[in-house]
A and B are shown apart, each in its own frame.
Chain A
């Protein structure tokens, strides 16, 4: 199985006020086609920076990429011309944002925001779709994320929707252009546990039925078990342990991983220690 996404020896540092801090130290990870992979670690471990580098959203400076390659579909994203890099973003690789309360624009309707994204994605991909076509696709995707009344939701402003509905809209946003890789940044962390469980189940179902590759970024091992079959554990900018989810939970090799497993509140209620 060839990897859809392969990060190889990625090193990144931040320079501020004359100090340089190395935040990623030779990070390597792989997301095979159609696989569900998790990157887990506490706050400040470097998982968000990893995600931003992959998406091409890291501000440089202050960040600087020293070494490494990010192979996506056979091409190195770090050496790709900006134009082609931008063409991939939000299309071939897409992202589910973390906070449903702040990731939607408050002054435009859901339909307006989704069709805008679709319009420019189509343009980048050279796809021809008119207004009506875009609207139909938006409604279709809203139905895919199991929104009960997609037409009404499309006409709503974010403030009219509940947190769980907004999170579904964020997932719909990521699915608009039929991506091959979905990067999810702790979706549902801002929601209550029940809603989060529903969101994770929805995400897993979508990924499985559409054959997407998923890279789940999280600090929550409960989320890892729900969504992934392979795990990378990150600490202080390094991958400290990796392995299939079941095996890692059953027999963690590193003390850090054991601490993580012990520290995390359980989502399923099963005893793990």
Chain B
């Protein structure tokens, strides 16, 4: 019951955030110079044609009316027509978003799979060589631009070693039509097509790795700091005094209370991951939403821009809602205090 109340409060906040986002992106998209109608029709279109399209898009209306139209569409789940692809933005996003989602989920998975153990090892052997190695890695991973990592991996694994594919989601000519969840690997597994699932994972590996390195370093650093912080707590000393073995102390007594900061960071990382995904999507020819969004921005394809931003925002808000619930599960103090508040 308390949990439902907590969820309801968080949902209300989420709606408020999304409303704010819609206003901001609406204004930004319109103050940027350039006439969408002119850009869509090209330099050789006549003034009448441009005016016609402007009227059709409602660009001649006052701003508040345009916003009302936009929000009205949003409420119906209708994002309008893309000028670039000349299809509905809904359809464009529905076809591109799952690829980005798959990429981002795999990225987060890899970042945590390696980042957390690295952080634990660094904290366990603080100021010794494992710690120095992890810290050096975290810095290098943070300062290397994603596009550089992506190209490096592509050259290394794709051309020099030739062990992994470097473009697309599947080998060209692969026949696969299932569309249950939209996530390729999941769909392939659901339909029992192990061959396609395996190929999809192989294709996913390099782009996800390229995108995950910076986050992995971040997760390792935060985990390390948090583990060291917890290791100084009295209850760790107490566990030692009562003869709880090192291994149990490290993972059960230390890692769980230390797990909240990396978890919270992950929620925030989702935003930058979607932003960073476009570089990776372009380099690896990944048919995702981030790349679609960038094309929309350069072409000032208003409906597509707003669609992509709103879907990203919704995704971000939902992920953080989920993480809030997870944090409450990991640390009962947060759950119980939230109940009292």
Which A residues fall within an 8 A CB radius of B? 55, 57, 86-87, 89-91, 94-95, 97, 99, 102-108, 116-117, 120-121, 124, 157, 159-160, 170, 173, 176
Contacts and interface: CB of A to CB of B under 8 A. Distances in A.
Contact of A116 (B233, B240, B244, B331): B244
Contacts of A86: 243
Interface in B248-262: 248, 252-253, 256-257
Contacts of B245: 120
B243 A116 contact: no
B239 A160 contact: no
B125 interface: no
Contacts, number: 73
User: Which of B235, B239, B240, B333 neighbours the largest number of chain A CB atoms within 10 Å of its CB?
Assistant: B235
Give the dominant DSSP class at B's interface: helix
Contacts of B242: 89-90, 94-95, 117, 121, 173, 176
Interface in B235-294: 235, 237-245, 248, 252-253, 256-257
B336 A157 contact: yes
Contacts of B256: 107-108
Contacts of A106: 235, 257, 331-333
Nearest to B330: A107
A102 B235 contact: yes
Contacts of A105: 235, 239, 253, 257
B243 A157 contact: no
A87 B252 CA distance: 21
Contacts of B253: 105, 108
A55 B239 CA distance: 13
A197 to B, nearest CB: 23
B236 to A, nearest CB: 8
B48 interface: no
A90 B239 CA distance: 9
B177 interface: no
Given A105-B253, A105-B257, A107-B257, A99 B243 contact: no
Contacts of B86: none
18 contacts: A55-B241, A57-B240, A89-B243, A90-B242, A91-B243, A95-B241, A97-B241, A106-B257, A106-B331, A106-B332, A107-B256, A107-B331, A108-B252, A120-B245, A157-B333, A159-B333, A173-B242, A176-B242
